[in-house]
């Protein structure tokens, strides 16, 4: 991978970490949401206003997602200061 590819990947990782931190912070301040989520789920962050990152995360799910774990999608806006995910939707992955 060339240096531009490495920079791109590092940038994507940084964006994912920041969004995942925001989602987890939201969950920790609203612990009642955990009651509605399945055990041992995989979290996939889908930013509504970052199509590149959304497509990247869906591609990661296709390549590396666990067949045995339910998937929870967290949709949110990158531009929003406050995180209020629009959807937490447990979905069983098709075999």
Query: Which residue is it, tokens 């964006």?
Result: 15
Q: How far apart are CA 90 and CA 74, in angstroms?
A: 10
Chain segment 20-72, per-residue pLDDT in tens: 998 888 889 988 888 888 888 899 999 999 999 999 999 999 998 877 888 88
Per-residue pLDDT of 33-45, as tens digits, reads 888 888 888 999 9
CA distance 74 to 24: 10
pTM to 2 decimals? 0.76
Contacts with 74 (C-beta within 8 Å, 6 or more apart), sequence order: 23, 43, 44, 45, 46, 85, 87, 88
Number of domains in the chain: 1
Domain with 78, as residue range(s), is 3-91
CA separation for the pair 44, 32 (Å, rounded): 20
* CATH code for the domain of 72: 3.40.1350.20
């Amino acid at each position: 991978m060339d240096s531009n590819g490495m920079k791109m990947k590092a940038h994507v990782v940084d964006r994912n970490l920041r969004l995942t931190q925001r989602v987890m912070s939201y969950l920790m301040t609203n612990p009642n949401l955990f009651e509605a989520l399945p055990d041992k789920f995989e979290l996939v962050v889908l930013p509504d206003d970052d199509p590149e990152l959304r497509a990247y995360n869906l591609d990661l799910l296709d390549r590396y997602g666990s067949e045995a774990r339910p998937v929870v999608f967290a949709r949110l806006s990158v531009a929003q200061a406050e995180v209020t995910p629009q959807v937490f939707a447990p979905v069983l992955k098709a075999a």
